[in-house]
Amino acid sequence: MAYSSKTSVNLPEFMGQGFSDFLKLSEVHNDSWGLALANPDSAKVIKEVASAASSARFSEIISNQSAPGALLHFRWASPGLGVTHENAHPFSFEDIA
């Protein structure tokens, strides 16, 4: 899920009532979650090896972090690929996500 906005918002604000339905996807895609927040001068990536639906950290971050753009990913790992922080999406390099 991604968005681009003229003002800083968080994903629940941007999606409205549809956010809770989208979050249910993380019960299946439950190997990790990641959030890239895009500001005009930088990008910040936050990720965790856990299901977003059961993560207290996810709940806190998703409600309290705002940006004019963001990308949220729920990972369902491919067989044989490790479920690790390094394999969680989105990937980043320097200030690019």
Question: 75 with 89: CB under 8 angstroms?
Answer: yes
pTM: 0.87
For residue 27, the SS3 value is: helix
Q: What share of the chain is helix, strand, coil (3-state, %, to 5)?
A: 30, 35, 35
Q: CA-to-CA distance for 1 and 70, rounded, in angstroms?
A: 8
Task: Mention every residue, 6+ apart, whose C-beta is less than 8 A from residue 20.
Answer: none
For residue 30, the SS3 value is: coil
b/e per residue 33-52 (b: at least 16 CB within 10 A): bbbbbbeeeebebbbbbbbb
- Return per-residue pLDDT of the chain as tens, 97 residues: 999 999 999 999 999 999 999 999 999 998 999 999 999 888 899 999 999 999 999 999 999 999 999 999 999 988 888 888 888 888 776 766 6
Q: For 91, which DSSP code?
A: P
